[in-house]
Structure 1
Amino acid sequence: FSSNAKLNSVVGHILHSSILVPYHGWRISHRTHHQNHGHVEKDESWQPLSERLYNSLDYMTKKLRFTMPFPMLAFPLYLFARSPGKKGSHFNPSSDLFQPNEKKDVITSTASWLAMVGILAGLTFVMGPLKMLKLYAVPYVIFVMWLDFVTYLHHHGHEDKLPWYRGKEWSYLRGGLTTLDRDYGWINNVHHDIGTHVIHHLFPQIPHYHLVEATEAAKPVLGKYYKEPEKSAPLPFHLLGVLAKSLNSDHYVSDTGDVVYYQTDLKTSSSAQSSD
């Protein structure tokens, strides 16, 4: 946003707190995601479950993780408790997400988040719960579902299974090439062309207004390693089928091996289909 870190922080806190996201906590975990994209253990947010971890989950947890619409409501839970197998919270300065010198930043963001909760509570008291439900709660749920939808599909759901890496097989370039571009039709411009996700991951310093241009320039260089996204109608309804198919088949990866692919638990798959 700006070369001025203080200005970034002020604007970031105002905007992120307004949607109940702790600015520094999210900034740092998202940085971790970019630095470790495509790594089975070190990636952040939508990284795969190992087979052992997957098998340790109870039936209800599996159902909630892989049955629509529940995965599309995961973001607030992720902020509080991260993903299965990970410890800590975006609000806790002692979480292993953060370095010791980042604690003050995390405390500031948590305080800002609490202030926003207080503002929302006050507005609810003054305006009434029903009006706040219409003006804030419903738009917030839509935001959460869209965010989960977009972030999931940028790392899952290609017709060809994409690898995840461990150990010496992982590299920044290899990990970045496991990300996927998506076409969102009319919505592309609304969220600043983030559908050009491969270039965003390989070169996160490129501003959003150059992402399309940079992607076109990179395609000849990437060659077969670039996966052209399916062209969207004005609204990206085609991605609903992609999402459903991925949730029905991309369940866990092997506990061993430095190059692994998603595998399917037929019990979870059949359970999800019966729910549909």
Structure 2
Amino acid sequence: MVKESKPLSYGAENGEKGSFDPSAPPPFKIAEIRASIPKHCWVKNPWKSLSYVLRDVIVVTALIGAAIWFNSWFFWPLYWVAQGTMFWALFVLGHDCGHGSFSNSSTLNSIVGHILHSSILVPYHGWRISHKTHHQHHGHVEKDESWVPLPEKIYKNLDNTTKLLRFTLPFPIFAYPFYLWYRSPGKEGSHFNPYSNLFSPSERKDVITSTLCWSIMFSVLLYLSITLGPFLMFKVYGVPYLVFVMWLDFVTYLHHHGYKQKLPWYRGQEWDYLRGGLTTVDRDYGWVNSIHHDIGTHVIHHLFPQIPHYHLIEATEAAKPVLGKYYREPEKSGPIPFHLITYLLHSIKQDHFVSDTGDIVYYQNDPKLQKYSFTKFE
């Protein structure tokens, strides 16, 4: 077992003393957390889940109608932000289908998941399977799937352009479509290819189905662009899609990075499901919390993805006494979560790679990258 020395916490960098070691094995078991959560929090109500789908679809449809009705440059920017946020809400409901927290029916989950995710150009099963891998191995340097830290050797072999695109805003918050097609540096495969090493042979039929649904949606968008005009479709669908991608990358990154104290990543025998899940961070998104179905309540979701989103807040409150310091209370947000931009900027600037060795490692900084970034864009 090799343990890397702990870095200063973000607070310690400002002269504060940090005494809690987030990499220490917790004094509780996952069964104790599970037992603390009320039994009704595990109950999946398909009608309640479908009511959220109906709500979101009505809002999306109403926004499209309003945008076409007003068709003014005063209204379009408001529409883009609102509709992009609603696309993100649709993704979260499809995400629940992928986890099986939407209902106990795998058929209903698959049908709703395909409709929701295909509508925003996400291959449902392809994403579902890779996201399952993320949950099963969260916090593992090599086996995790979402925003995986780059080992130093892989990082140093990246060309400067790739480094800039990965670690210079705004480029990272537009990464999701590229991830679907090419995954992350150091990993191979595509979420659209049934023969990708992301999938087992038994999963290939599901991946083909999702890729076909994605292709149908893309064809519909292409047809509408030809018949209605590409500029109108760009305004109605294209810009909201980009806002959705920004939301997805922004939220998923901050659930696993950018806390005020640097959090560990694991290898080998130091990793286990509980320790990996406990490095997840809850976030408060202000008035957006209810719109995107409380996805910011993320720690309990990571440990128990079977819990429906409408029970996550109650489940988290019940589990806090067990979690103790391993639960990091999110900083309260104003109506709009501008405070999270600071954490994103700090993390992108500081968290570049982890050591090639060590079973407990922390992000390290490449000072040359910042210098190169300024030179590149001067």
Determine if the TM-score, normalized by the shorter chain, exceeds 0.5: yes
- 2:223 corresponds to: 122
Match for residue 195 of structure 1 among 296, 315, 327: 296
Q: Distance in 2 between matches of 1:272 and 1:253?
A: 20
Map 1:22-37 onto structure 2 (within 5 A): 22-37=123-138
Match for residue 160 of structure 1 among 261, 279, 282: 261
Query: Is the counterpart of residue 259 in structure 1 residue 353 in structure 2?
Result: no
Deviations 1:109-139 (A, max 9, x none): 0011111110001000111011001100000
Match for residue 189 of structure 2 among 88, 111, 116: 88
Map 1:1-276 onto structure 2 (within 5 A): 1-272=102-373
How many residue pairs are counted as aligned between the two chains?
276
CA radius of gyration, larger in:
2
Which fold has the larger relative contact order, with Cα–Cα distance below 8 Å and residues 6 or more apart in sequence?
2
Corresponding residue SS for 2:356? coil
Deviations 1:209-251 (A, max 9, x none): 1100111111111111111111111100011111010000000
- Code of the residue aligned with 2:226 in structure 1: it is F
Which consecutive unaligned segments of at least 5 residues does structure 1 have? none
Report deviation, 1:273.
5.9
Q: Percent identity?
A: 70
Q: Distance in 2 between matches of 1:131 and 1:271?
A: 39
Does the Cα contact within 8 Å between 1:22 and 1:90 map onto a contact in 2? yes
Q: Distance in 2 between matches of 1:124 and 1:9?
A: 28
Corresponding residue SS for 1:157? coil
Deviations 1:129-167 (A, max 9, x none): 110011000000000001000000000001111000000
TM-score under structure 2 length normalisation? 0.72
CA RMSD of aligned residues (A): 1.1
Corresponding residue SS for 2:121? coil
Report deviation, 1:272.
4.5
- Code of the residue aligned with 1:202 in structure 2: it is L
Q: Distance in 2 between matches of 1:271 and 1:57?
A: 14
Corresponding residue SS for 1:85? coil
Report deviation, 1:13.
1.0
Q: Distance in 1 between matches of 2:264 and 2:214?
A: 37
- Code of the residue aligned with 2:225 in structure 1: it is T
Q: Distance in 2 between matches of 1:232 and 1:268?
A: 31
Deviations 1:173-230 (A, max 9, x none): 0000011000000001111111111010011111101100111111111111111111
- Code of the residue aligned with 1:58 in structure 2: it is D
Q: Distance in 2 between matches of 1:59 and 1:90?
A: 26
Report deviation, 1:45.
2.1
Report deviation, 1:270.
3.3
Does the Cα contact within 8 Å between 1:75 and 1:144 map onto a contact in 2? yes
TM-score under structure 1 length normalisation? 0.98
- Code of the residue aligned with 2:310 in structure 1: it is Y
Deviations 1:1-36 (A, max 9, x none): 122212211111111111000000000011000000
Deviations 1:94-119 (A, max 9, x none): 11111110000000100111111100
Q: Distance in 1 between matches of 2:110 and 2:311?
A: 23
Q: Distance in 2 between matches of 1:259 and 1:220?
A: 26
- Code of the residue aligned with 1:123 in structure 2: it is L
- 2:75 corresponds to: none
Residue range with higher mean Cα deviation, 139-148 or 211-220: 211-220
Does the Cα contact within 8 Å between 1:45 and 1:78 map onto a contact in 2? no
